[in-house]
Amino acid sequence: MLNSPQKQLINPDDLFGSREIRFHDRRESHYPQLMRLCADFNFSVLQLQRKIFSHLSRKMVPGQLEFVLALHDETTNCWYSLSPGTESLKQLNDYCKKYEIDLLHMHLIGDDGDDQDVSREAFY
């Protein structure tokens, strides 16, 4: 069961590789939800291959490929994932369809972690 969206930094040191998946034609897209989020709201779909530690070889080895919905922060040049990693683009498309409102709220308004703690007395 996939969890609701959370904004998490994608650390490049934890990856063997990554690439951005681009959607070019709205009419022929097999993933309409991903196409809409990427084209209309500036989200990106990334394919990641994370590093995992192998106890057998005692070194870092490539993990399985996963897809995430991500945002790029131009000011810090960092990538943030908003979805958990999925095995396929279809699963990611279904996840985005289910949590579309939460994803757009997090992107356009911000999540609760972005708010600074301000006491109620500050307004009186």
Residue pair 34/70 in contact by the 8 Å Cβ criterion? no
Given a cut of 80, is residue 19 above it in pLDDT? Answer: yes
The model's pTM is: 0.80
Total residues belonging to the chain:
124
| CB atoms near residue 82 (< 10 Å) | 22
Residue 26, pLDDT score: 72
- The predicted-structure confidence for 90-117, as pLDDT tens digits, reads as follows 999 999 999 999 999 988 887 655 444 4
- The predicted-structure confidence for 27-48, as pLDDT tens digits, reads as follows 767 899 999 999 999 999 999 9
Residue 62, pLDDT score: 87
